[in-house]
Amino acid sequence: MEPLLDTLGRTLETLRVSITDRCNFRCVYCMPKEVFGRDYAFLDRRDLLSFEEITRVVGVFAALGVRTVRLTGGEPLVRRDVEQLVEQLAAIPDLELALTTNGVLLPQKAQALADAGLSRVTVSLDSVDDAQFRALNDVDFPVDRVLEGIDAAAAAGLPVKVNAVIKRGVNDDGVIALAERFRGTGHVLRFIEYMDVGHTNGWRLDDVVPAEEIVRRIGAAWPLEPVAAGPDSTSSRWRYKDGAGEIGVIASVTQPFCGGCSRARLSAEGSLYTCLFAVRGHDLRAPLRAGATDEELAETLRGIWTRRTDRYSELRTAETASLPKVEMSYIGG
């Protein structure tokens, strides 16, 4: 099969699927309470793609060359019977199936997800300090319960990565404690620069802790050496010289990587976004519900990808940060 290329020669390899816009956390940098409060209008259940519709769209993407599908949200584990969706998707051949979660529901769900065919899990955890973590998730959720979720995933045989978003003056003083907690566990800890996604989190460049600073600080505590990364890896990888494993840093703001961006994103209501910072998506639900064939859907997707020009992070300025953009909790990161 000819690889599908966009206008900048980028292939389509990964699809992130948001399966709900709801969440049991109100992380201050993602779903601030002042915006996502009692009156916030979340998507109606009928507007969400059904498991059958998601499976069908993913099947068409897989036929076009997508090799990795990542379920996300909002919080994907709050969608009822998510393990059934995993089972349906796992039946699609040659597809790696990952999930990004805040970990709250992993103690109950990890085994069922592994049994259903999930390949691996990423748990978002921004601090191991209980008071700091409770303030970050803004629903007073204790950090120990997320750590239990990580253990439950590992016990179910799922490879685990841990992602931490670092915001200056909020949790940058917890970087060393995070590194210490995951050194030697086999779980790769990855630090993500705080991004100007959406338009509700009040992002400022000063809030970003550059990845290079994080590597320097951890390296001063435990010497690090670089690990060669794959050709389209978004993270740069570092190994502890004492053999205690590795960390990664994702420098989406200070060292943008649009040139290798092979990801598409499907919202919970079936809109396709070709960039995390897009203003508008392409509605796939309407043709799906109007009875389009797989070939017609594939043709639509080919058209969208081959016209793709996105490279927001490479063009970012202080002004672009205030443009209207889709929210992270809607598109799933």
Task: Choose among 197, 290, 262, 316: nearest CA to 67.
Answer: 262
Write 8-12 long-range contacts (CB < 8 A, 24+).
8/258, 8/259, 8/308, 8/309, 8/311, 10/259, 10/260, 10/261, 10/262, 10/308, 11/65, 11/262, 12/61, 12/64, 12/65, 12/66, 12/262, 12/264, 12/305
Q: Which of residues 195-254 bind ligand SF4 (CB under 6 A)?
A: none
Closest CA to 56 of 305, 317, 321, 285: 285
Here's the x/- map for ligand SF4, 7-36, by CB under 6 A: it reads as ----------------x-xxx--xx-----
Give the chain's length.
Answer: 333
**Interaction between residue 133 and ligand SAM (CB under 6 A):** no
Site residues (CB under 6 A) for ligand SF4, limited to 275-304: 275-277
The entry of ligand SAM, ligand SF4, none near residue 258 (CB within 5 to 8 angstroms by kind) is ligand SF4
Q: Is 188 in the site for ligand SAM (CB under 6 A)?
A: no
102 binds ligand SAM (CB under 6 A): yes
Interface segment toward ligand SAM; rule CB under 6 A; list 41-49, 69-77, 177-185, 274-282: 69-77
Q: What is the dihedral sign for C-alpha 65, 78, 130, 169?
A: positive
Residue of the chain from 13, 17, 69, 75 that contacts ligand SF4 (CB under 6 A): 75
Query: Which segment (82-90, 193-201, 275-283, 308-316) binds ligand SAM by CB under 6 A?
Result: 193-201
Q: Residue type for 308, please?
A: R
Task: State yes or no: residue 75 binds ligand SAM (CB under 6 A).
Answer: yes
Q: Does 121 bind ligand SF4 (CB under 6 A)?
A: no
| Beta carbons within 8 Å of 191's beta carbon, 6+ residues apart | 164, 165, 166, 175, 211, 214, 247, 248, 249, 250
Our CA angle for 267, 7, 251, nearest 5°, is 60
Nearer residue to ligand SAM within complex by CB, 248 or 332 = 332
Q: How many residues bind ligand SAM (CB under 6 A)?
A: 21
What is the binding site for ligand SAM (CB under 6 A)?
23, 29-30, 72-73, 75, 100-102, 124, 163, 165, 192, 194-195, 197, 201, 328-329, 332-333
What is the binding site for ligand SF4 (CB under 6 A)?
23, 25-27, 30-31, 73-75, 102, 124, 257-258, 261, 275-277, 310-313, 329
